[in-house]
């Protein structure tokens, strides 16, 4: 993407002909955009030349909800079925087809929810689902099991359960509001939830994941920004998948959010036939950083119902990161992740840069294929930091210490569930396997970092 000019930034997206005569004050009103969303075949056919497969998808009774704001619908190329905007929001017949490993809740979010709508998967942060409504609906949505279904939305009583859980769970320092899309909520309810979260002492930051600036930038009003700015530190991740979604309206919405002091990131999903190209991704991230939006995650498409035809190979994602890292600014390179099917969270995946290692030497390669050796310090003492480390509060991660616990010497191994009973092979306890102390590693589990302060440090 070339440099965005001032003239471009002040411009506006051409409207589809059916909305050409709508007065500007209506067009620029987010409530008008919401109430005039397109969702039926008859209207779609007035401005898009639909393919037979799209007609099949739009006509299907049991499809995932279809709604597109007039603003976003105006970005669709009416004559190109491969238009990247069109493919994200117009259903195709193939989205109804089952595929291997497909699940309704592929990230097992509902299984990781101690109360309805609150997903507590990581040690110190939670995902709080606050609505099932979005401004428009993405055909590959991970949460299509509830999103778009107004009957599945969260009640006030469930919000109270979510807030109560957070109040009594001090390990949570970061809350991400999502849904659905929190920025489609009534301003009063959103304000209420943010203010309740803001009052919880141990919650250090609040984040919102929203596609509203992309689907309906008109929602980013001065009043909304003033309200959000009361709850700093507040971060927002938007969701742009293709450079075609970067418009003057989105630019101005991001500018307003940034001016309200909100750091912006972007999450995109790797989508076959839409953005599975190094060159499209480069154009996307260059456009994002010009809007002061930091590319944050590039997601592998989930194994969720309806999304089968959007999936790429994982190697395509690795190739894209290979084409970004070093080829463009580090700020512009997102982390490519596979969200673990069945729960387990995001797993970063990328090219390998460490070629080999020996004591004192690491052999690395850069993006150009230049191979070099980093010579490690022979006198590096990793224990020298411990006195200072002892002054830092150690956050507890019960049951979730993971591989770090191996590196810290707290455990020698991590076993899959059922490992011990499988390896007993149905045998009984006997004179050789009775004594557990045989397999207790010497010194393992000792807290190496808990060394006492020196006398001089104690008196400082």
Residue 263 CA to residue 168 CA, distance in Å, equals 28
- For residues 126 and 175, the answer to whether their CB atoms sit within 8 Å is yes
Is residue 305 a contact point for ligand SF4 (CB under 6 A)?
no
Please identify which of the residues 37, 86, 125, 282 carries the catalytic annotation.
125
The two three-digit tokens of residue 314, written as one number: 């994982």
Is residue 138 a contact point for ligand SF4 (CB under 6 A)?
yes
Please identify which of the residues 63, 86, 121, 244 carries the catalytic annotation.
121
Q: Which residues ranging from 151 to 190 are in contact with ligand SF4 (CB under 6 A)?
A: 180-181
Stretch in the footprint of ligand SF4 (CB under 6 A) among 135-143, 229-237, 254-262, 356-364: 135-143
Stretch in the footprint of ligand SF4 (CB under 6 A) among 37-45, 100-108, 131-139, 162-170: 131-139
| Burial degree of 146 (CB within 10 A; 0-12, 13-18, 19+) | buried
Please identify which of the residues 83, 138, 254, 301 carries the catalytic annotation.
138
Q: Which is nearer to ligand SF4, 146 or 200 (CB)?
A: 146
- Identify any residues that bridge with 325 across adjacent strands, giving them in sequence order: 328
Is residue 137 a contact point for ligand SF4 (CB under 6 A)?
yes
Q: Which is nearer to ligand SF4, 150 or 459 (CB)?
A: 150
Is residue 141 a contact point for ligand SF4 (CB under 6 A)?
yes
DSSP conformational letter for 103: B
Q: For the window 211-250, what string marks contact with ligand SF4 as x by the rule CB under 6 A?
A: x---------------------------------------
Q: Which is nearer to ligand SF4, 197 or 304 (CB)?
A: 304
Residue 33, helix vs strand vs coil: helix
Residue 189 CA to residue 303 CA, distance in Å, equals 32
- For residues 261 and 251, the answer to whether their CB atoms sit within 8 Å is no
Please identify which of the residues 143, 207, 219, 311 carries the catalytic annotation.
143
Buried b (16+ CB within 10 A) or exposed e, 333-356: bbebbbbeeebeebeebbeeeeee
- Identify any residues that bridge with 177 across adjacent strands, giving them in sequence order: 128, 208
- For residues 367 and 322, the answer to whether their CB atoms sit within 8 Å is yes
In sign, the C-alpha dihedral spanning 106, 110, 113, 117 is positive
Minimum distance of ligand SF4 from residue 230's CB (angstroms): 25
Q: Which is nearer to ligand SF4, 181 or 276 (CB)?
A: 181
Among residues 83, 147, 257, 320, the one that binds ligand SF4 under rule CB under 6 A: 147
Residue 194 CA to residue 204 CA, distance in Å, equals 12
The answer to whether residue 138 is catalytic is yes
The answer to whether residue 394 is catalytic is no
- For residues 195 and 231, the answer to whether their CB atoms sit within 8 Å is yes
Q: Which is nearer to ligand SF4, 200 or 253 (CB)?
A: 253
The two three-digit tokens of residue 376, written as one number: 């490690």
Stretch in the footprint of ligand SF4 (CB under 6 A) among 137-145, 245-253, 349-357, 415-423: 137-145
Residue 191 CA to residue 450 CA, distance in Å, equals 43
Among residues 44, 48, 134, 238, the one that binds ligand SF4 under rule CB under 6 A: 134
- For residues 56 and 28, the answer to whether their CB atoms sit within 8 Å is no
Stretch in the footprint of ligand SF4 (CB under 6 A) among 3-11, 30-38, 136-144, 200-208: 136-144
The answer to whether residue 83 is catalytic is no
Q: Which is nearer to ligand SF4, 200 or 224 (CB)?
A: 224
Residue 40 CA to residue 65 CA, distance in Å, equals 11
Is residue 143 a contact point for ligand SF4 (CB under 6 A)?
yes
Binding site for ligand SF4 (CB under 6 A): 134, 137-138, 141, 143, 147, 180-181, 211
Which residues are part of the catalytic machinery? 121-122, 125, 134, 138, 141, 143, 302, 339, 346
């Amino acid at each position: 993407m070339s440099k965005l000019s001032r003239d471009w930034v002040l411009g506006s997206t051409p409207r589809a002909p059916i909305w050409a005569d709508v007065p500007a004050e209506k067009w620029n009103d987010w409530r008008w955009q919401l109430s005039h969303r397109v969702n039926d075949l008859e209207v779609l056919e007035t401005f898009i030349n639909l393919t037979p497969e799209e007609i099949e998808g739009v006509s299907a009774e049991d499809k995932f909800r279809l709604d597109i704001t007039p603003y976003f619908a105006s970005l669709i190329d009416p004559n190109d079925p491969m238009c990247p905007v069109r493919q994200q929001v117009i259903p195709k017949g193939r989205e109804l087809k089952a595929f291997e490993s497909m699940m309704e809740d592929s990230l097992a979010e509902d299984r990781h929810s101690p109360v309805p709508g609150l997903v507590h998967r990581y040690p110190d942060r939670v995902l709080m689902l606050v609505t099932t409504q979005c401004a428009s609906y993405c055909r590959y949505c991970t949460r299509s099991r509830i999103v778009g279904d107004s009957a599945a939305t969260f009640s006030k009583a469930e919000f109270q359960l979510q807030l109560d859980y957070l109040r009594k769970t001090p390990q949570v320092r970061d809350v991400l509001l999502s849904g659905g899309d929190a920025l489609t909520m009534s301003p009063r309810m959103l304000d209420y939830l943010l203010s309740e979260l803001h009052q919880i002492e141990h919650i250090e930051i609040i984040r919102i994941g929203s596609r509203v600036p992309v689907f309906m930038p008109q929602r980013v009003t001065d009043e909304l920004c003033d309200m959000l700015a009361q709850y700093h530190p507040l971060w927002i991740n938007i969701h742009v998948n293709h450079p075609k979604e970067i418009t003057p309206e989105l630019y101005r919405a991001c500018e307003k959010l940034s001016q309200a002091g909100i750091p912006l990131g972007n999450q995109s999903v790797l989508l076959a036939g839409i953005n599975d190209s190094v060159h499209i991704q480069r154009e996307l991230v260059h456009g994002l950083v010009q809007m002061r939006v930091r590319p944050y995650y590039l997601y592998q498409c989930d194994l969720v119902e309806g999304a089968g035809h959007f999936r790429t190979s994982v190697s395509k994602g690795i190739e894209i990161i290979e084409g970004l890292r070093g080829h463009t600014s580090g700020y512009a390179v997102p982390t490519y992740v596979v969200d673990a099917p069945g729960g387990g969270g995001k797993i970063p995946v990328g090219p390998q840069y460490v070629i080999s290692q020996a004591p004192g030497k690491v052999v690395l390669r850069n993006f150009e294929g230049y191979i070099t050796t980093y010579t490690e310090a022979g006198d590096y003492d990793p224990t020298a930091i411990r006195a200072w480390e002892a002054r830092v509060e150690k956050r507890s991660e019960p049951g979730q210490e993971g591989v770090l616990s191996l590196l810290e010497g707290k455990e020698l191994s991590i076993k899959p569930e059922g490992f011990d009973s499988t390896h007993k092979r149905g045998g009984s306890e006997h004179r050789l396997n009775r004594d557990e102390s045989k397999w207790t590693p010497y010194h393992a589990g000792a807290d190496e970092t808990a060394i006492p302060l020196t006398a001089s440090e104690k008196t400082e």
